[in-house]
Amino acid sequence: QVQLAESGGGLVQPGGSLRLSCVASGSMFSRYFMGWYRQASGKQRELVALNTSSGSRNYADSVKGRFTISRDNAKNTVYLQMNSLKPEDTAAYYCNAVVYGTDYWGKGTLVTVSL
């Protein structure tokens, strides 16, 4: 069982930045496929960014050039640096870990981009 805990959400103005963090339990974090997803009100959950155990990264087209996913294996933590935020980035952001084929999810952290 892997537990995930997100933090760092909040209210930010358009054009601003936030950094989300997700701490994972377990001793094999370096082998986890980690990702960030988001779900806006009334919409389906969508992929934002992935960071594989080999270090490769993938992003949704809507966030390319603005968001950066990274990980610190020594701290069992994955980050999502979000720059140039737009109102359409408003959503609950969820951390995901895939561990030997099993999905684990955090409870989410809310990001609101508004004046």
pLDDT in tens, 17-70: 999 999 999 888 989 999 999 999 999 999 999 999 888 999 999 999 999 999
Please give the pLDDT value at position 30. Answer: 87
Alpha carbon distance 111, 115 (integer Å):
13
Instruction: Check pLDDT > 90 for residue 79.
Output: yes
**Residue 80 — pLDDT band, cuts 50, 70, 90?**
very high
pLDDT the model gives residue 55: 84
Once rounded to an integer, what is the mean pLDDT over residues 71-99?
97
30: DSSP letter = G
The C-alpha atoms of residue 23 and residue 105 are separated, in whole angstroms, by 11
Neighbours of 30 (CB within 10 A): 11
